[in-house]
Structure 1
Amino acid sequence: MNPLSAPLICRRFKPHPLMLALLWAWRGSALAQSADAQAPDALPVIEVREGASVAERRQLPQTSASVTAAAAADGINVTDSSDALKYLPSLSVRKRYIGDTQSPLATRTTGINASARSLVYADGILLSALVNNNNGNGSPRWFMVAPEEMARIDVMYGPFAAEYPGNSYGAVTEIVTRMPQQFEASAKALYSQQDFSQYGASGTYRAQEYNLALGNRDGALAWRFSANHLDSFSPPVTYVTANAAPAGVTGAVATQDRTGKPVFVLGAGNLTHTVQDSARLKLSYDFTPALTLSYTLGMWQNQANANAQTFLKNAANGAPAYGGGFSANSVDQQQWMQGLELRSKTEGVWDWQLAASTMTSSRDLTRTSAAAFPAGAGGGAGTIADAGGTGWSTLDAKGIWRPSGADGKRGAHVFSFGAHYDRYTLATPTWNTADWISGGNGALASDSRGKTETSALWAQDVWRLAPSLKATLGARYEWWRAFGGYNYSTNASGVGFPVNQPQVSQDGVSPKASLAWSVNDDWLATLSAGRALRFPTVGELYQNVLVGGVYLQANPNLKPEKVWSTELAIERALAEGQGKWRLSLFEERVSDALISQSSTLGSGVASFTQNVDKTRQRGIEAAFERNDVMTRGLSFNGSLTWVDARILANGGYVPTAAGATSVGKRTPYVPEWRATLVATYKPDDRWSYTLAGRYSARVYATVDNTDVNSHTYQGFDGYTVLDARVRYRFDRHWSAAVGVDNLTNRDYFLFHPFPQRTVFAELKYDF
């Protein structure tokens, strides 16, 4: 089936060079001749590039896509673990600069501000910060895994596995790290540089990163250690705006806000210098060949300073001038990660696993100026926000039973089951201080606290109905509660208002079903359906705070999202390992969708979350991989996704303008089109050349789609970004690479200004 043959899609489609190239390559792969592949009863998951994916190993029913460490080293300019996802189908990570700690993952049907609608794990340790559902403190802790540790990343789409909670309805990302088989060591140095120019801001912003990794195995004991250091300068992350230019000054840049109204840009904000250090140690011990204990300890710390730059000059003497809205801040953070796992690996009748993990903030201070600039940049009144008590812990027990058939061989059923517990804690008191740079805590200005916990039982049966037919049936039952909610705020006179929020609880079952049919040696069709319950995060319920000029408003009365997802995936493996392709048709219906909204208040932004009665996201995703195209060593891979995302009912909507409505409008933050295309040429074992492209249509950030002007600060542009990378291996020890992201210097916004042309140089030594 050609996805462009559908009349509705034809009416909406506007040809784009990247899309046309992708479709040409995909069409060619579909016409390739087939040959012998796996047997019909193998039921292959064809997205896997090499080795077994997490979905295959655990016999999970989701469609999956993968990238290996070798492929990432050859073809992706990687500065942290999230970069490895750049070209996987329907995915994007909101990364504003190298070292950005607020980088949520967007999936097929979820946007860049919905971090709790997907899950990110590293060796089973939860990196997703389900303390919130935003692009701030809810972002995954990508920095806890260095790229040099990774063996592969697997992404599984949709809430079709009972093993995962309802947050999986966007996608589940599993980062799999390596354990050495003998002594190994590596060292890598990376340098990058970006020349940035926008509005009245311009400059050159550099970053340098160093990594050291060691590991060994001595009989039953294996260990791996990795340390990483980053020193990075960012271009502007925000801008200071006003509805009118201040009197007596020049330099204000006239433009329009995202609704099309006149606005003036007075200066740039949050030009950030961040210095980050991280270290990770993993130990494993094989008590027997079938019983392994592993322990992981990770530490990350960050010292960051963010300053402002004015565009204004005094009309009389030309001296720098400042209006309202300028501020500076500093960040001091330290976080710890621990994971303990005991598992059997007999691959016989029984296997089991016990796992526990924690992520804690031992120090998390943000100091922000409140005094008027320019004096405020050097000290004076401000606030100190302390999120040091925020974190989470998880506990899982899992088992798998593979009963034998009457003939003593592997039977028709594989049962897996488990129990889960988690707790998330939010603590964000903010104090006034007489000196924001070095002063102590003064009077309490605001506070937000609370906890959530979830207990769950789940079971799944993989039932081989026939040699070519497999059903997967499962269910997950969850008990959730939120408690300890507390908010404190002060008015302009300093009078405090404490509020103890009510305890709330919910429970429910999420059934799952999937049917996979191996049509013949090359073709596989899978039909999946599943329900998911995505409970509100503790931050959505209780966080009431000012972060980076954005006022976050709590709502303790939110209801959980109730999701029904379906997918029909058709996959084909091409002859002699020449590639594969997949076509997925999917639909997602959400009741009580938790959607974050924001509105501009002067130069500030207010953000709040509301339950939207019903949304529906349906679409088509095509993905392909084709090797040795026209010449040996030339490969293509890519994807094309179309999504019709609509709000079907929204009884709580309050019109923002006369005649405005939200029903029938596009669901916020979900683009209609996305595409990726990657061409890699490896003429020999030494050289690798890659040219890649990423495309996304524009998105709306409001439920009524009134943000019609996308190319402005706080708007959401469509974009086409081209990247390039060349890598050379001198010998088995030394390698070097140079690369460029945003080759054509595309100037675009995703609320914030996004990186312009950035060049990379990398040198690595492997022992």
Structure 2
Amino acid sequence: MKYLTLRPAAATLACLGALHAQADDQTLPAVTIESPAMPAPRAQPGHTMESVTAQQAAQTINAINTEDLLKYQPSILLRKRYIGDTQAPMATRTTGINASARSLVYVDGILLSALVNNNNQNGSPQWFMVSPGEIERIDTLYGPYSAAYPGNSYGAVTEITTRQPTGFEADARVSLASQNFSLYGQSDRYPATQASVSLGDRSGPWSWRMAFQHLNSFSQPVTYLTATQSSQPAGAATAISGAIRDRNRAGAPIQILGAASLTHTVQDSATLKLIYDLPAGVRAAYTLGYWQNNAQGTASSFLRDGNGQPYYGAATGSVALNGNTYSAATLRGLFSATITEQTHWVQGASLRSSREQAFTWEVHASDFSYGKDLTRTSTGAYGRPDAPGRMTDASGTGWSTLDFSGGWRAPAGARHRLTFGAHLDRYRLDSPTYATAQWENGAAGARTGDARGSTLTQALWLQDVWQIAPSLTASAGGRYERWRAYDGYNLSSTASGALFPIDQPNVRHAGFSPRFSLAWQALPQWSATASLARALRFPTVGELYQSIQTGTTSTQANPFLKPEEVRSAELALERSNTDGRLRLSLFGELVDDALVAQTSTIAGIALPLSFVQNLDRTRQRGIEVVAEQRNVWARGLDLSASMTYVDAKIVANSSYAPTAAGATSVGKRTPYVPAWRATAVATWRPDERWSHTLAARYSSRVYATVDNTDINPATYQGFQGYLVLDARVQYKHDRHWTVAAGVDNINNRKYFLFHPFPQRTVFAELRYRY
């Protein structure tokens, strides 16, 4: 493991040495830039930011989905399990892959973050509402240091800017991918194809762009079916072969019975964007987005009966697996199939003044709605379409936002630039569950559970940038927020299966979050920035109103959750010249009342249950090094690398319920935050047509439990460290045609991040631009 840690570090050090070895006055070769390097719309002076442009991404990244474009950003990890995965949250320096509400994702000012939950499922960003071909650039801002963003920004903010045409343009591309996956003795190939087209034009004050995308993808097994090791001897029970002995993440023996969640997904998306330039520099814009998904999840049994046929359990009786007895009905309950049908819509409208005026303003409204979001799951005998099942209907879930912002630039010679704004948002979660007599196409029967509710946030913010001296700039501001949760409702069941409704109480919180930064341009090539901020991250609807169903799920509604209170600091030093840059960031973070899923007991229920609870305090502190150097050793060879170390600890946790005698959570690592993370990218452009890229991604292992009792990461539900290597070659035949090919995970690293992650995958792409 130490050897793996040093390899990304060595790449980083190589870049640092190359950076200092270059002469500061070295002449740059001619470079074609597709778009100006504009800052993120709401970035503040001194705000640490990393960016990737469409041109950079096309040359270096095997990208099919939008989240792929962030693959090599410093300290960023996207939990993407397969091509077309709709559950791909973003992890940052100090936040994990199960904390989607601790970061924000926007496209042209429209919120794609699903702040209806804080998890890696229905709280994941809606990346699929924008295709890679539409994107001009992506900017990532680290930390909650701009008052223009809510406290959810304390991990990072990703601002996606799409391309707007200046004349007629057309773009068409076809991408192919194929993954060879092998684990637990099972091997298969899983393909994916994608086709996309975009058209746009500008005529007088009007400009427009339309984009269409179609994806057909097959995933590797996303989950595995396991049974706790039985202590009962086989006796006369019927022998079933094929079970694989293993250990779970706590080190206890288990049996691997089969693979599940092999997902075939067919997705279509369409986007329309209109812009009209009014007199006096006022610009109006409207965006309409549509996405649909039809996905089928199946299972594969490793078990075989006496005739060599796949075995999926039975309604009664017992069977013998590897010499021990198991309930046939329990085994049958593990195998299930799913059908998911989703149709999501997004709309955004904005009106803004000219950027050149002394006083500027902008109004932006957006609405995201789940027109249809239905998942059917079989609960009877596997493989029978007439078997019973359950239906979970999230239709009606969605969110709306309204923002007003203004700016005032002082007259020439003055030293202040003032920005301010107001914000309103509403989130709604609807998630009833029904029984159905026929799981594939039966009508909804009796409700078996329900979880619903809403949150509303109102905010005012103000920020002033003060040029204290030619080399010294201060930014000070704050954000005041009022938040409430209401209409909370749960339909839950007792241990005996009896249903009971709960009308949850309304909850309110309010608070002020100051932000401050000081930027010093010490020398033309050296700068330093110090930033401090307090941020409030309010609970999501899902954290407040997840309902409990004992015996099937183990979640408990907790409408009295308090907001996370974050105190964040960063000191960033940067050296840059005409051919590269080096940045060193020292950061620290204290989170009081951190919202984390823990295991505890509930009065009247014998077994411990898992639910979201406020953890008293966590502390994260670390260092991040980022280096870029162009024309290293030879013209056209570019290197970039990043390395992040985080010391993440639980400081206090008075609500902890021990899972084993003597266990504790205090002093343990914060769940889901790795100690080390690194990237390295080398790109060689021998001429204007060819580009060759070799890249590496590394992460150390993480813990998923607050007491760090998951001691065995190399298994399903464990979280392993990994080092994967990627490669890409692009050839531009002429100004219209481009072809590319690549491989992700060349070294075929097999690893788990709870789920088994993709193994070696090859890519091919053909693109036409007019």
- Normalised by the length of structure 2, the TM-score is 0.93
Return closer, same or farther for 1:204/1:597 CA change in 2, 3 Å cut-off. Answer: farther
Query: What residue number does 1:513 align with?
Result: 516
Verify: 1:487 aligned to 2:490, yes or no: yes
Query: What residue number does 2:502 align with?
Result: 499
Verify: 1:383 aligned to 2:390, yes or no: yes
Query: What residue number does 1:238 align with?
Result: 223
Matched-pair contact (CA < 8 Å) for 1:597–1:701: no
Counterpart of 1:313 (choices 284, 294, 304) is 304
Residues 276-335 of structure 1, C-alpha deviations (whole Å, 9 max, x = no match)? 000000000000261100000000000000000000001x22121122301000000000
Verify: 1:694 aligned to 2:697, yes or no: yes
Query: What residue number does 1:87 align with?
Result: 72
Query: What residue number does 1:143 align with?
Result: 128
Residues 140-198 of structure 1, C-alpha deviations (whole Å, 9 max, x = no match)? 00000100110000000000100000000000000000100000001100110001011
Matched-pair contact (CA < 8 Å) for 1:190–1:208: yes
Q: SS at the partner of 1:250?
A: coil
Amino acid at match of 1:587: G
User: Shift in Å at residue 551 of structure 1?
Assistant: 4.5
Q: Which region of structure 1 is more displaced relative to structure 2, 241-250 or 732-741?
A: 241-250
Amino acid at match of 1:463: W
Query: What residue number does 1:638 align with?
Result: 641
Verify: 1:588 aligned to 2:595, yes or no: no
Return closer, same or farther for 1:550/1:753 CA change in 2, 3 Å cut-off. Answer: farther
Verify: 1:291 aligned to 2:282, yes or no: yes
| Mapping 1:616-765, distance limit 5 Å | 616-765=619-768
Matched-pair contact (CA < 8 Å) for 1:633–1:683: yes
User: Shift in Å at residue 348 of structure 1?
Assistant: 2.4
Q: SS at the partner of 1:592?
A: strand
Matched-pair contact (CA < 8 Å) for 2:493–2:549: no
Query: What residue number does 2:373 align with?
Result: 364
2:589 and 2:696 map into 1 onto residues whose CA distance is: 27
Amino acid at match of 1:614: R
Matched-pair contact (CA < 8 Å) for 1:200–1:311: no
1:597 and 1:86 map into 2 onto residues whose CA distance is: 30
Amino acid at match of 2:426: R
User: Shift in Å at residue 380 of structure 1?
Assistant: 1.1
Query: What residue number does 1:170 align with?
Result: 155
Amino acid at match of 2:356: E
Q: SS at the partner of 1:224?
A: strand
Amino acid at match of 1:304: A
User: Shift in Å at residue 493 of structure 1?
Assistant: 6.1
User: Shift in Å at residue 52 of structure 1?
Assistant: 3.2
Verify: 1:64 aligned to 2:54, yes or no: no
Matched-pair contact (CA < 8 Å) for 2:40–2:159: no
Verify: 1:211 aligned to 2:196, yes or no: yes
Q: Which region of structure 1 is more displaced relative to structure 2, 236-245 or 658-667?
A: 236-245
Counterpart of 1:98 (choices 83, 98, 106) is 83
Q: SS at the partner of 2:336?
A: coil
Matched-pair contact (CA < 8 Å) for 1:362–1:389: yes
Identity %, equivalent residues? 56
Residues 602-648 of structure 1, C-alpha deviations (whole Å, 9 max, x = no match)? xx997521111011000000001100001000000110000000000
Residues 198-221 of structure 1, C-alpha deviations (whole Å, 9 max, x = no match)? 114321100000000000000100
Q: SS at the partner of 1:77?
A: coil
User: Shift in Å at residue 347 of structure 1?
Assistant: 1.9
Matched-pair contact (CA < 8 Å) for 2:435–2:448: yes
Query: What residue number does 2:18 align with?
Result: 28
Q: SS at the partner of 1:313?
A: coil
Q: Which region of structure 1 is more displaced relative to structure 2, 481-490 or 469-478?
A: 481-490
Return closer, same or farther for 1:226/1:756 CA change in 2, 3 Å cut-off. Answer: same
| Mapping 1:126-205, distance limit 5 Å | 126-205=111-190
Amino acid at match of 1:622: V
Counterpart of 2:8 (choices 9, 18, 25) is 18
Residues 721-752 of structure 1, C-alpha deviations (whole Å, 9 max, x = no match)? 11000000111111100010101100000000
Verify: 1:400 aligned to 2:407, yes or no: yes
Query: What residue number does 1:417 align with?
Result: 420
Query: What residue number does 2:324 align with?
Result: none
Q: SS at the partner of 2:523?
A: coil
Return closer, same or farther for 1:605/1:200 CA change in 2, 3 Å cut-off. Answer: farther
1:684 and 1:31 map into 2 onto residues whose CA distance is: 24
1:308 and 1:599 map into 2 onto residues whose CA distance is: 32
Matched-pair contact (CA < 8 Å) for 1:54–1:174: no
Residues 243-296 of structure 1, C-alpha deviations (whole Å, 9 max, x = no match)? 137951111111110011101110001100000000000000000261100000
Amino acid at match of 1:395: L
Query: What residue number does 1:107 align with?
Result: 92
Matched-pair contact (CA < 8 Å) for 2:26–2:579: no
Counterpart of 1:275 (choices 257, 260, 266) is 266
Query: What residue number does 2:240 align with?
Result: 249
1:692 and 1:582 map into 2 onto residues whose CA distance is: 20
Q: SS at the partner of 1:519?
A: strand
Return closer, same or farther for 1:472/1:25 CA change in 2, 3 Å cut-off. Answer: same
| Structure 1 unaligned regions, length at least 5 | 1-10, 38-47
Q: SS at the partner of 2:278?
A: strand
Matched-pair contact (CA < 8 Å) for 2:396–2:429: yes
Matched-pair contact (CA < 8 Å) for 1:646–1:667: yes
Query: What residue number does 1:261 align with?
Result: 252
Residues 440-461 of structure 1, C-alpha deviations (whole Å, 9 max, x = no match)? 0100110001000100000000
1:134 and 1:599 map into 2 onto residues whose CA distance is: 19
Verify: 1:455 aligned to 2:458, yes or no: yes
Query: What residue number does 1:446 align with?
Result: 449
1:313 and 1:704 map into 2 onto residues whose CA distance is: 38
Verify: 1:74 aligned to 2:53, yes or no: no
1:20 and 1:63 map into 2 onto residues whose CA distance is: 24
Aligned residues: 734
Counterpart of 1:557 (choices 551, 557, 560) is 560
Matched-pair contact (CA < 8 Å) for 1:200–1:253: no
Amino acid at match of 1:487: N
Verify: 1:351 aligned to 2:341, yes or no: no
Return closer, same or farther for 1:53/1:648 CA change in 2, 3 Å cut-off. Answer: farther
2:34 and 2:530 map into 1 onto residues whose CA distance is: 22
Return closer, same or farther for 1:49/1:685 CA change in 2, 3 Å cut-off. Answer: closer
Amino acid at match of 2:90: L
Q: SS at the partner of 1:667?
A: coil
Amino acid at match of 2:617: K
Q: SS at the partner of 2:288?
A: strand
Return closer, same or farther for 1:299/1:55 CA change in 2, 3 Å cut-off. Answer: closer
Cα RMSD over matched residues? 2.1
User: Shift in Å at residue 25 of structure 1?
Assistant: 1.7
User: Shift in Å at residue 32 of structure 1?
Assistant: 3.5
Q: SS at the partner of 1:663?
A: coil
Return closer, same or farther for 1:36/1:472 CA change in 2, 3 Å cut-off. Answer: farther
1:380 and 1:396 map into 2 onto residues whose CA distance is: 49
2:34 and 2:732 map into 1 onto residues whose CA distance is: 22
Matched-pair contact (CA < 8 Å) for 1:61–1:161: no
